[in-house]
Structure 1
């Protein structure tokens, strides 16, 4: 955890002036706090023992005035500290979200959403609390001890030296406690992240859980994670249980020593009673913040652990090199793969892929599960980079295109259609916020979505549920296709984007896409070969390699893997037709 605050300094450095002014008022507060024991000493020595009744009213008024000024200073320092913490957290939260939006796909393949939510909420709030309260609390403790000891030395050096025996014991206890509690709080943060991840995953998949009657399994899994979180908190509580009595006992021993020695000094005439009363009041001023030292260290340790988890996001490396990105222009849609190979986990998932897709062409990619189809198309908008070879768009390596410009002109529709919890219109216009209703309706017509949208209660203004769960899978896919069409991309990638619709609807969508004027270069991944039979060229992948290429009939005549896939899909259909034809003929007779 070394250097956590140094590495996060760019977020609080712009607001350090607020902290310095706040600490200035804190110094005034600590100094004014000493006015009470000083005035109490004067009341005992001069009013009570010296019989100066005339001084009682002005000294009492002075105590009230000091309390009033101290209250104003205390409010001001607390307010400025809160603003300092809030502004730091505001900038940090913005940067975290910005970073999350620019991190590559690989990062999201390796982390749970619930853990990210825990970092953006609980961890960030722990960090804010330290900057808003913790720094001033620790500084107030330090100033209280220093100023109190300074005043004690002016009252009686012997008692001050006697008290100095106690303070190192308190400091050593606190340091030992901090070393033990730090790892425990990091464990608490990690177990909370896993707990939140499990809850989020279970709630998102609640339909799957119920369909398999696995509620009991998920409850047991949650109980285990909750138990781990509970155990981590109990370990912290046990440390607290040992720390607080030690602090309190040490502090009370100091008070007893001062009472014994100070009482003897007063009775022997070596010290004034007022000085002893002031000395004791100073001790009580010190004991209260010292007793809170555990809470202050708790705040600091939790903030350090939370800051380390936030830095894991902020310092996450982007595996896509941005140093060559400079091209930002309208594209034509020419796509070339030149000897492309890709490794995942040390294994080749694509090897020596070479082909060209010309503007306006439709290129289909088929193959068995795990053959590398989705990985191949993910290289075009540069969701990941190649390990060997190059992918070019309009003759320019995609690594030279500015990512925003490249992806703005590439429409990508995933098999798992995600919709935002907003209106149908807002979902379809997402890629082009200024799109009017006419453009949205046109895209919906092409995606064969307009008909069912018009049947919805509020048409295009109908609100969909979380992740679009108010719609069927096929409806979500059609809305997703419409969303990809609204920006009028020059390259359109459909990654099994019609898997949830029936064959008839799929064919309608394909024909409407092909009939569009100025249509995009289209990459089509589909499990059903019926969807790719009209493609200009079909690539057949097997084990990450292109093993066949050509048009539909050419590949059938070749009798290779494409033919095997075709036979598997259409054998049952042909048998059904052969069975149906005699029955129909018999009926006609």
Structure 2
């Protein structure tokens, strides 16, 4: 769902820190006024030196003025840098935190359609570009405009005629800057997109390094990365071409203005229409004028880049989590049966579940099995409200699941999906992910339940062993059992395991399941498993085929039915 009402702008972002910005700009204004006064003082000094009655006292006076100005500039330079650059850093932190929190609030479907590398690039690179515009971009823009206006005023005060002639080329410069700004925004947008692709390419290759090496496709990965890297280079070079035109063109315009002044100002000085001091002052101002022109072009470039990045950030901000369709119940009693009534569900027009009616008794051990793609995982994802749940089809303790808030449900029901997630960090960090302050004795207890304790002790640093990005240093079975220990530590009322022990040998899997059943005594344990013998001891087992519930009962009942369950059990227990 998209919503453009909260679209952010550079101005709105800066207004959050308006007091810092105001103090910083006032400091920058004082620095600029000090700079602008120096040519006037130098002009006075030049005029004094042309007089026969000049004295050291006059020179000392103006030297003292310049020393005082230099002191003021040093003090207020610190002021504008601290307040303006500080405000941009605070803005960056606030925007990045808000963006990350927004990502956390989005639904599972959003992440299924997005590349992680692209989201990382937006979180880091795009927000960094926005910070540059709100910090350095704002500074050089204000500095450029302020100096340009006051240099023009100062030059007009000295000689209006010369100033008007000198500024003849500048409207051409303004038109060129405006036209090229559009090119900058478009091309920088492409740069950021290519950076996202480069980030995603690196992320995929590094996170899947075991597969890459197992299939000896390092060369293919190298070629894919080089292709992304070359595209990023080409997009940057395309942008550089635009910027490369700016500086020479600005220098050319400044050169034309200088030629006009030297010819016209020199004539005016010879004819005594202006003094030599006035000539020197205007020449210094004209030299200073190159910076405002450069600053405005630079600021325009930074702002256009930030506009492209802000568009990418706003694109994500415009996507909102799907609201709960019904008024939600935040507090509810989880104790009670789970009922599925006439539940049908489809993905992209393909039916995944067909008219399901099933009851999972409270406090039972309930196994789910069946052939591949028979709707087992879909059933559990609906129970966890990952996709939208049809109304009045799933009930917990008689309450319609559609009315139970997602957050409250997921605090009390722990679901471990097929693809277990292990974060970079230590084994202890991963186990205590949801309860970081838990005591070591409890950590030891849950790892023993998950049958991973002895293996952890054999690691170089025990529980403090670092597991690398996504747990690459661990085997699949070790990752699964660490995720299991993490879930048990939470002490859920309902624990759902989606084939999470599939990487273990049968003996270890059997021991782990026995431990879990004992731990969950009086609570509900639901386990999906393609290994039928693993769940044969559960109170009740449901068998699925092509989205339909085809069998239910305990092990002995299902074996006597001679159906799918019995067939799978016999195949998997052949010695």
Instruction: Tell me which interval the TM-score lies in, with the shorter structure as reference length.
Output: over 0.9
Tell me the CA shift for residue 355 of structure 1. Answer: 1.8
Post-superposition offset of 1:78: 1.7
| Structure 2 residue corresponding to 1:208, chosen from 208, 211, 214 | 211
Contact 1:18–1:81 (8 Å) recurs in 2? yes
Cα contact 1:493–1:523 (8 A) shared by 2:
yes
1:582 is aligned to none
CA spacing shift, 1:74–1:423, aligned 2, 3 Å: closer
CA separation in 1, counterparts of 2:462 and 2:325? 42
Which residue is equivalent to 2:480? 477
**Residue number in structure 1 paired with 2:37:** 35
Aligned residues: 571
CA contact (8 A) 1:415 1:497 kept: yes
Identify if the C-alpha distance between structure 1 residues 454 and 239 changes in structure 2 by more than 3 Å, giving closer, same or farther. Answer: closer
1:86 to partner: Cα distance: 1.1
Query: Which of these residues, 65, 70, 75, is aligned with residue 62 of structure 1?
Result: 65
The structural deviation recorded for 1:50 is 6.4
Shift in Å, 1:492: 0.7
Contact 1:4 1:304 in 2 (8 A): no
Distance in 2, Cα, partners of 1:99 & 1:369: 35
Mean alpha-carbon deviation: is it higher for 337-346 or for 302-311? 337-346
Compared with structure 1, are the counterparts of its residues 348 and 24 closer, same or farther at alpha carbon in structure 2 (3 Å cutoff)? farther
2:343 alignment counterpart: 340
Which residue is 2:200 aligned to?
197
* Structure 2: distance between partners of 1:322 and 1:459: 47
1:229-308 matches, within 5 Å, as 229-308=232-311
- The answer to whether the 8 Å contact 1:360/1:520 transfers is yes
Superposed displacement of residue 8, structure 1: 6.3
The aligned counterpart of 1:163 is 166
What are the equivalent positions in structure 2 for 1:146-157 lying under 5 Å apart? Answer: 146-157=149-160
Question: Quick one: which of 28, 46, 50 aligns to 1:26?
Answer: 28
Deviation string 1:92-117 (CA, Å, 9 cap, x unpaired) is: 12222222222222222122222222
Alpha carbons 1:320, 1:385 under 8 Å: kept: no
Decide which of 411, 421, 424 is 1:421's aligned counterpart: 424
Deviation digits for residues 504-547 of structure 1 (CA, Å, limit 9, x no counterpart): 22222222333336342122111111122223333333333333
Change (3 A) 1:447 1:235: same
Q: Deviations over 1:159-207 (max 9, x none)?
A: 2221332221111111111111111101111101110111011011111
Match of 2:317 in 1: 314
Quickly say closer, same or farther: Cα 1:559–1:6, change in 2 above 3 A.
same
Compute the displacement of 1:549 (Å): 3.1
Secondary structure in structure 2 of the residue aligned to 1:379? helix
Q: 1:329-358 CA distances to partner (integer Å, 9 max, x unpaired)?
A: 552153222333334345443343332212
Superimposed CA distance per residue, residues 3-33 of structure 1 (whole angstroms, 9 cap, x where no aligned partner): 9984466654331111011111222222222
SS class of match (1:34): helix
Contact 1:341 1:389 in 2 (8 A): no
> In 2, distance between residues paired with 1:70 and 1:452?
65
Q: Which gives a bigger RCO, structure 1 or 2 (Cα 8 Å, sep 6+)?
A: 2
Structure-2 separation of matches of 1:486 and 1:207: 30
1:5 and 1:51 map into 2 onto residues whose CA distance is 67
Give the match's secondary structure for 2:17.
Answer: helix
Once residues 22 and 546 of structure 1 are traced to their aligned partners in structure 2, the CA distance between those partners, rounded to angstroms, is 69
Change (3 A) 1:553 1:227: same
Aligned-partner Cα distance in 1 for 2:430–2:548: 36
Contact 1:540 1:546 in 2 (8 A): yes
Question: Does the aligned pair in 1 maintain the 2:8–2:314 contact within 8 Å?
Answer: no
Question: In 1, distance between residues paired with 2:271 and 2:155?
Answer: 20
Q: Please say if residues 341 and 386 of structure 1, whose CA atoms lie closer than 8 Å, have aligned partners that are also in contact.
A: no
- Deviation of 1:406 after TM superposition, in Å, equals 1.8
Aligned: 1:377 with 2:380: yes
- Indicate which of 85, 88, 94 corresponds to 1:85: 88
Q: Which residue of 2 aligns with 1:583?
A: none
Deviates more, 1:239-248 or 1:507-516: 507-516
Q: Quick check: 1:172 aligned with 2:178?
A: no
| Cα distance in structure 1, aligned partners of 2:392 and 2:332 | 23
Alpha-carbon RMSD: 2.5
Residues 6 and 448 (structure 1), Cα distance of their counterparts in 2 relative to 1, 3 Å cut: closer
Residue 395 of structure 1 corresponds to which residue in structure 2? 398
Q: Work out whether residues 540 and 548 of structure 1, in 8 Å CA contact, stay in contact via their aligned partners in 2.
A: yes
* Aligned pairs for 1:109-188 within 5 A: 109-188=112-191
Q: Contact 1:336–1:355 (CA<8 Å) still a contact in 2?
A: yes
Residue equivalent to 1:585: none
Moved more, 50-59 or 173-182: 50-59
Q: 2:110 aligns with which of 107, 112, 116?
A: 107
In the other structure, the counterpart of 1:580 is none
Runs (5+) with no aligned partner, structure 1: 578-589
Q: What displacement does 1:423 show? A: 3.7
Contact 1:5 1:307 in 2 (8 A): no
3-state SS of the aligned residue for 1:534?
Answer: coil
Assess, with a 3 A threshold, how the Cα gap between structure 1 residues 400 and 465 changes in structure 2: closer, same or farther: same
2:207, 2:469 within 8 Å by CA — same for their partners in 1? Answer: no
Local SS of the residue matching 1:518:
coil
Residues 168, 97 of structure 1: CA spacing in aligned structure 2 closer, same or farther, 3 A cutoff?
same
Pairing 1:219-230 to 2, within 5 Å after superposition: 219-230=222-233
Q: Report the CA distance shift for 1:519/1:509 in structure 2 as closer, same or farther (over 3 A).
A: farther
Alignment map for 1:347-366 (pairs within 5 Å) = 347-366=350-369
Q: The residue matched to 2:200 in structure 1 has which SS?
A: helix
Mean Cα displacement is larger for which, 396-405 or 130-139? Answer: 396-405
